[in-house]
Structure 1
Amino acid sequence: MRGVDESKTGRARSLRSASTDAEGVLWYRLRARRLNGYKFVRQEPIGPYIVDFICREARLIIEVDGGQHADSPHDAARDRWLADRNYRILRFWNNDVSSNLAGVLETIVTTLAATPPHPDR
């Protein structure tokens, strides 16, 4: 990848192989354009961060978090940095994905439908 820090790429690869159960469940539904034809990739380096899932075309990032992320100043700073670069972020708790997958997918589909095409695409 052009302009990507190789250490971030290696870290992203290791995160892909060590995904949580909730990330695995959601990835199964997102991969291979299973969600209304949108393409997602997982554990993608963006600047100094690695995001769980991203639809590049819609500039939509999806994060699946455990309790360690509650009220995290690091996550707040990260979200601001990404938002400043015109990314939108949806955050779901692991238990949301596990217990309400249909609701999580509905939220994602609704957000994608409301996403105007990016001017650079």
Structure 2
Amino acid sequence: MQDEGHKLLAINAMPDHIHIFIGYNLNQLIPNLVEQIKTSSNKWIKDNRLSKFQFSWQKGYGCFTNSNSQIDSVVKYILNQEQHHKKNTFKEEYLKILNQNDIKYDEKYLFDFWENIFSD
């Protein structure tokens, strides 16, 4: 990713999703960047045997932009995911982002959300 001219600003993974915040290089198409991230991380997870289950990414992804004035707050938001998801599920978070930004969507194209992943 960084060898393509992107700059990693923050990353944080939860059991059911990952946030990757980058300074994006406009010379690479977003779908190509996402494919590169998924392919290389999938290989790394398998090579390092980090999952006892068959690992693969879902087909979809969400991609959002920000202004320079939001960088610090987005980094804090991403690094605070564990606390954040004690209050809101990934599905609630994702739908809130879509709705707050008046992004129209068809539910059939949403992720396969894992409900109650953190329940005991």
Give the TM-score normalised by structure 1.
0.29
Pick 1 or 2: higher relative contact order, CA cutoff 8 A, min separation 6: 2
Greater Cα radius of gyration, structure 1 or 2:
2
Question: Higher strand fraction: Structure 1 or Structure 2?
Answer: 1
Give the TM-score normalised by structure 2.
0.29
